Amino acid sequence: MKKFENIHSILLIDDDESSNFLHSIFINKLGLDIEINTALNGQEGLDFILEKGLEKLSLPCMVMLDLRMPIKDGWEFMRMYEEQVPEELKEQLVIVLVTVSDNQEDRDRAEANPYIMDYAQKPLSDSTFKKLIAKHFSLEQVV
Give the pLDDT score at 139. 65
Q: Given strand 94-99, what is the order of strands in its sheet?
A: 35-39, 9-13, 62-66, 94-99, 116-121
Give the pLDDT score at 77. 97
In the chain, what are the helix, strand and coil shares in percent, each to the nearest 5? 45, 20, 35
Domains, the chain, with CATH or none: 9-135 (3.40.50.2300)
Whole-number Å distance between alpha carbons of 100 and 91: 27
Give the pLDDT score at 57. 63
- Its pTM stands at 0.92
Residue 8, helix vs strand vs coil: coil
Whole-number Å distance between alpha carbons of 28 and 43: 26
Q: What is the mean pLDDT of each run of 10 residues along the chain (143 residues)?
A: 76 96 94 93 95 78 94 95 94 92 89 95 92 85 50
